[in-house]
Amino acid sequence: MKTTLLLPLLTATASVESSTLPTTNTSLQPRQQRALCDLYAYWSGHGYELLNNLWGKDSATSGSQCTYLDNASADNIQWSTTWTWEGGPNNVKSYPYVGRQVAKGRTIASVSKMPTSVTWRYDNEDIRANVAYDVFTAEDPGHVNSSGDYELMIWLARYGGVWPIGSSMGTVTLAGYTWELWTGYNGAMRVYSFVPPAGQVIRSFSADVKEFYNYLEKSHQFPASRQNIIVYQIGTEAFTGGPATFTCTKFSADVI
Beta carbons within 10 angstroms of residue 177's beta carbon: 16
Spatial distance between the Cα atoms of 84 and 62, rounded to a whole number of angstroms:
8
CA dist 52 → 33, 65, 114, 167 (Å): 15, 8, 24, 29
Residues 212, 232: Cα–Cα separation, whole Å: 13
Task: Note if 211 is an active site residue.
Answer: no
Q: Choose the catalytic residue: 151, 180, 211, 217.
A: 151
Bridge partners of 98, per DSSP, are 50, 234
CB-side exposure of 242: number of CA atoms within 13 Å? 24
151 is catalytic: yes
Q: In terms of C-beta density within 10 A (0-12 exposed, 13-18 middle, 19 or more buried), how is residue 112 classed? A: exposed
Exactly one of 49, 125, 217, 237 is catalytic; name it: 237
Q: Looking at the annotation, which residues are catalytic?
A: 151, 237
